[in-house]
Chains A and B, each alone.
Chain A
């Protein structure tokens, strides 16, 4: 079933559709939250995300754009938890040219998840959304409330940092 049909059924008030929605999207949401906050806080924040999603469902005007909306809410919940370290706006996000970085392509999912915690929040976030959630650059930009160019530069920076981290880890062994 398409997401849009599922959301429309939820908005109509079909109980089965609501549970199916949670069943379908629980793991992606939890993966994102876990990637951002770590496993110990993931369950509580995931529950907060779902409560906000269900409460906001009647106001969702574009059911076809559910995924970006969902992750925008998830991001807000994560940001609330990270406010202490995340409050200041990023000073002069650099627009870097987009390059196809082999490191970003070859990094395996498991290694990526394990290495995420070494990255700063903003870089970690775009990596999770782009690689683990398979969202488009446009969706990532919408969720993070930044231009697509900023997402690209953060992805570049994140891949570079991740590669450096993995390289360093490899040489220490």
Chain B
């Protein structure tokens, strides 16, 4: 058995770079949030359409919604299976989700007002999405604050000891 390392640590770090890269980690979040926001927008507009739509318009709505859902699925797969969301990533992802939720709510509420119907369901849906995003933001900040506090404690102990 060879006792010498065949694959040095630096090369292993190179192999792991897709997972270690912060931008690649956030790419999944962008796909997930954008996909969900697009699907909610398109689905809401389609569902609250007062008149019966022509066949091609319905097909276009369906295709756009499916494309958005596919991106959301890809993002969810990346976030849950491929790349970790560390504390800072979660804070950024949370704010990104909250911003997208508010923007989506505004868009579907404006569309509902212009049509003169469906404002209450639009606001209710938006409120739920915003609330979920808000909880994610708060949890991410709480977790990060706890880790920062622990980091300060450990650094203080190290300074005293060293």
A residues contacting B by CB (< 8 A) are 1-2, 4-5, 8-13, 15, 18-19, 22-23, 26-27, 30, 34, 38-39, 42-43, 46-47, 50-51, 54-58, 63, 110, 113-114, 116-117
Contact = CB atoms under 8 A, between A and B. Distances in A.
Contact of A23 (B3, B9, B22): B9
Contact of A39 (B1, B15, B82, B90): B1
B9 A4 contact: no
Nearest to A113: B1
Contacts of B148: 12
B16 A11 contact: no
Contacts of B158: 1-2, 5
Contact of B151 (A8, A15, A113, A117): A8
Nearest to B144: A12
Interface residues of B, number: 34
Contact of A43 (B1, B6, B19): B6
Nearest to A63: B150
Contacts of B88: 12-13
20 contacts: A2-B154, A12-B86, A12-B87, A12-B151, A22-B12, A30-B7, A39-B2, A42-B6, A43-B6, A47-B15, A51-B16, A54-B20, A54-B84, A55-B81, A55-B84, A57-B86, A58-B86, A58-B87, A113-B3, A117-B1
Main secondary structure of the interface of A (DSSP, over half): helix
B5 interface: yes
A153 B73 CA distance: 49
Nearest to A26: B9
Contacts, number: 91
A43 B13 CA distance: 12
Most buried by A among B86, B88, B158: B86
Interface of B: 1-3, 5-10, 12-13, 15-16, 19-20, 22, 81-90, 144, 147-148, 150-151, 154-155, 158
A54 B144 CA distance: 17
B57 to A, nearest CB: 43
Contacts of A10: 86
Contacts of A23: 9-10, 13
5 nearest CB pairs, A to B: A13-B88, A13-B86, A26-B9, A5-B154, A43-B7
Nearest to B155: A5
Contacts of B7: 30, 42-43, 46
Nearest to A47: B15
Most buried by B among A10, A13, A38, A54: A13
Nearest to B90: A58
Contacts of A1: 158
Contacts of A8: 147, 150-151, 154
